[in-house]
């Protein structure tokens, strides 16, 4: 029941905020403000409903993590996507053609802030965290990643391959980042940095959606396995390899620090038990 209450509470903010962000797309500053406001409101609603339904401190959103988790995560996410584009370019799939005379970096940052925060709260903060407490880390990763991927079937140009890539890349990497840190700030930062680089800097499609003009202009050509086709670089084997590597690193870190939860090993809230292990 608590899963449903928490999921619905955050989903309402996501749906309303998403509509407002879309309505302001013609005004970059308004998009940025509405997107940032949606992100903050979603965080506050999540913290409130978790406190009410679980009667505990919301340690996964400890304020100190904004500096130690969100910022490094955003830098890592943007850097990883930049490396992906560079690798695709090295194999001839991406060619830089110049600097854009008009870019949507500010609007993209606001839009992606709302998307990254609400999706991480829903899929890592609520779904993964609660399911993990019942079935353990490994099965929870599979379940949450699969559902995260299936959600993208509704996106333009969605393919089975693209959806599977999203499930493995984002579902795996972002879930593993949460397991490794037991905080939501790193996965939020990773998600945000990746998406802003993808849309606001390089102007490529994000999970099939080409809504923004980037800081740089470039063309993509070649086989879909390299470029990701119309779905965007996330469906590329290069992205898949990079995110799988990140997933393994995070899970190895989690295992080394005792943060992997075995199946049916506890009956208490996952965050509380993990925090005890981390100490």
In tens, the pLDDT along 37-79 reads 999 999 999 999 999 999 999 999 999 889 999 999 999 999 9
- In the chain, % of residues over pLDDT 90: 80
pLDDT bucket at 25, cuts 50 / 70 / 90: confident
- Band of pLDDT at residue 265, cut at 50, 70 and 90: very low
Q: Distance between CA atoms of 1 and 5, rounded to whole angstroms?
A: 6
Determine the pLDDT at residue 229.
92
What b/e string do you get for 93-112 counting C-beta neighbours within 10 Å, with b at 16 or more? bbeeeeebeebbbebbbbbb
- The CA distance from 88 to 130, in Å, is 37
How high is the pLDDT of residue 100?
85
Choose from 23-27, 167-171, 177-181 the range with maximum mean pLDDT.
177-181
Write out pLDDT tens, residues 73-110: 999 999 999 999 999 999 999 999 999 877 789 999 99
The whole-number average pLDDT for the span 236-246 is: 96
């Amino acid at each position: 029941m608590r899963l449903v209450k928490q999921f619905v509470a955050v989903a309402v903010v996501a749906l309303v905020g998403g509509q407002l962000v879309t309505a302001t797309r013609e005004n970059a500053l308004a998009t940025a403000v509405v997107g940032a406001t949606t992100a903050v409101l979603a965080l506050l609603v999540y913290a409130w409903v978790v406190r009410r339904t679980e009667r505990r401190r919301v340690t996964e959103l400890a304020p100190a993590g904004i500096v130690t988790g969100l910022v490094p995560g955003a830098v890592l996410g943007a850097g990883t996507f930049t490396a992906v584009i560079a690798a695709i370019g090295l194999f001839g799939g991406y060619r830089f053609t110049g600097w854009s005379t008009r870019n949507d970096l500010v609007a993209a940052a606001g839009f992606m802030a709302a998307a990254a925060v609400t999706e991480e709260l829903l899929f890592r903060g609520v779904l993964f965290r609660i399911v993990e407490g019942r079935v353990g880390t490994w099965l929870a990763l599979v379940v949450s990643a699969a559902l995260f991927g299936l959600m993208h079937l509704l996106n333009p140009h969605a393919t089975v391959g693209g959806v599977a890539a999203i499930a493995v890349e984002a579902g795996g990497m972002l879930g593993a980042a949460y397991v490794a840190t037991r905080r939501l700030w790193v996965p939020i930062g990773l998600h945000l940095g990746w998406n802003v680089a993808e849309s606001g800097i390089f102007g490529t499609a994000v999970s099939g959606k080409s809504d923004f003009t980037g800081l740089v202009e470039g063309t993509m050509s070649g086989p879909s396995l390299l470029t990701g086709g119309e779905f965007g670089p996330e469906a590329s084997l290069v992205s898949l390899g990079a995110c799988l590597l990140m997933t393994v690193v995070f899970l190895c870190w989690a295992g080394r620090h005792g943060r992997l939860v075995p199946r049916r090993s506890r009956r208490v809230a996952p965050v509380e038990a993990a925090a005890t292990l981390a100490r």
